[in-house]
């Protein structure tokens, strides 16, 4: 009897059911659900998710989802996070024509042609197929032309793979990217790196952790901000390591050579 009950519980977790949705949101009517977060639950089957007709924000990251057909009816969806799943085909979400932000990082999308199914999403401003913070990607990201194809498909896109490509902040991003490339190279075109003053880290150790909130919108903003802080820490560590290596190399070059007679 216990084994049967455990198997039933696993089925409930693996498939989205009205009971699961009502317990997570406190809403009795599925059409009343506006925000929904179902992360890391082992979900395979989207089940009745299509009945949440008024959903605006949906987070299904960290599951085992491959079939997106039940999402086709979510015409009011604005933000959709499908990162870290098993998605190879994205044709089913082409009817979600209100989408503004779409996260597909960490899936199995392999074909540039598959990306063309997103053409109908004319309101899309933010799309992510790769996330360096969590080392999420897709096979299609190995194709050097996938970025240019997406930018051509979506002339109004503002953010691609977490990088602001147009609008306020794009110039600053490009400047930071150029500086990062110089640090990686370890040398300037016209000579070695000059001696650098001691600088404080971008993010101090022990920076207070972001507290969670009951509001789905605020919580998502906290998550994105925490991701940015995490990426800044990684960049700071990489920069400190490269600068240290460069300084050691310069100090070795400046040491007088010893000769034995």
DSSP H or E segment with residue 163: strand 163-164
Are 216 and 259 within one domain?
A: yes
Average pLDDT in the 32-53 region?
95
Look at residue 7 in the predicted model and tell me its pLDDT: 39
Report the domain count for the chain: 2
- Mean pLDDT score of the chain, rounded to an integer? 79
Q: How many Cβ atoms are within 10 Å of 189's Cβ, its own excluded?
A: 6
Q: For the chain, give me the number of helices (H) and strands (E)?
A: 6, 9
List, for residues 44-85, the tens digit of each pLDDT value.
999 999 999 999 999 999 999 999 999 999 999 999 999 999
Bridge-based pairing state of the strands 126-128 and 101-103: parallel
Are 72 and 190 within one domain?
A: no
Distances from the Cα of 198 to the Cα of 96, 201, 203, 255, angstroms: 50, 10, 15, 22
Are 16 and 94 within one domain?
A: yes
Helices (H), the chain: 2-14, 18-25, 112-115, 146-153, 170-185, 216-254
Are 255 and 204 within one domain?
A: yes
Last residue of a domain, one of 130, 162, 194: 162
Average pLDDT in the 86-95 region?
95
Q: How many Cβ atoms are within 10 Å of 93's Cβ, its own excluded?
A: 24
Cβ(105)–Cβ(129) below 8 Å: yes
Quote the pTM value.
0.63
Are 192 and 256 within one domain?
A: yes
Look at residue 10 in the predicted model and tell me its pLDDT: 43
* Signed CA dihedral, 6, 11, 16, 19: sign only: negative
Cβ(212)–Cβ(222) below 8 Å: yes
Last residue of a domain, one of 137, 162, 187: 162
User: Cα(45)–Cα(27) distance, rounded to whole angstroms?
Assistant: 21
Are 1 and 61 within one domain?
A: yes
SS3 label, residue 127: strand
Distances from the Cα of 104 to the Cα of 48, 95, 111, angstroms: 21, 16, 14
Are 130 and 244 within one domain?
A: no
Are 177 and 80 within one domain?
A: no
pLDDT band for 211, please (50, 70, 90 cuts): very low
Are 185 and 107 within one domain?
A: no
User: Whole domain around residue 45: which residue ranges?
Assistant: 1-162
**Coarse DSSP helix, strand, coil percentages of the chain, rounded to the nearest 5 percent:** 45, 10, 45
Are 206 and 158 within one domain?
A: no
Are 177 and 233 within one domain?
A: yes
Are 180 and 145 within one domain?
A: no
User: Cα(243)–Cα(205) distance, rounded to whole angstroms?
Assistant: 19
Cβ(82)–Cβ(61) below 8 Å: yes
């Amino acid at each position: 009897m216990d084994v049967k009950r455990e198997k039933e519980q696993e089925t409930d977790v693996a498939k989205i059911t009205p009971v699961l949705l009502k317990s997570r949101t406190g809403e009795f009517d599925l059409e009343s659900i506006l925000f929904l977060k179902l992360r890391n639950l082992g979900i395979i089957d989207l089940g009745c998710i299509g009945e949440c007709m008024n959903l605006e924000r949906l987070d299904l990251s960290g599951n085992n989802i491959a079939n997106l057909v039940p999402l086709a009816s979510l015409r009011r969806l604005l933000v959709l996070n499908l990162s870290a799943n098993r998605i190879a085909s994205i044709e089913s979400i082409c009817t979600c024509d209100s989408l503004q932000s779409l996260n597909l990082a960490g899936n199995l999308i392999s074909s540039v042609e598959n990306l063309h199914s997103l053409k109908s999403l004319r309101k899309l401003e933010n799309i992510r197929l790769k996330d360096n913070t969590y080392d999420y990607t897709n096979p299609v990201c190995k194709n050097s032309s996938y970025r240019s194809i997406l930018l051509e498909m979506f002339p109004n896109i503002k953010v691609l793979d977490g990088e602001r490509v147009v609008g306020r902040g794009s110039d600053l991003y490009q400047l930071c990217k150029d500086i990062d490339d110089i640090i990686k190279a370890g040398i300037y075109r016209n000579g070695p790196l000059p001696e650098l003053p001691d600088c404080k880290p971008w993010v101090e150790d022990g920076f207070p952790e972001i507290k969670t909130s009951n509001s789905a919108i605020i919580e998502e903003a906290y998550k994105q901000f925490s991701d940015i802080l995490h990426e800044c820490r990684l960049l700071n560590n990489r920069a400190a390591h490269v600068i240290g290596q460069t300084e050691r190399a310069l100090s070795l070059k400046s040491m007088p050579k010893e000769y034995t007679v």
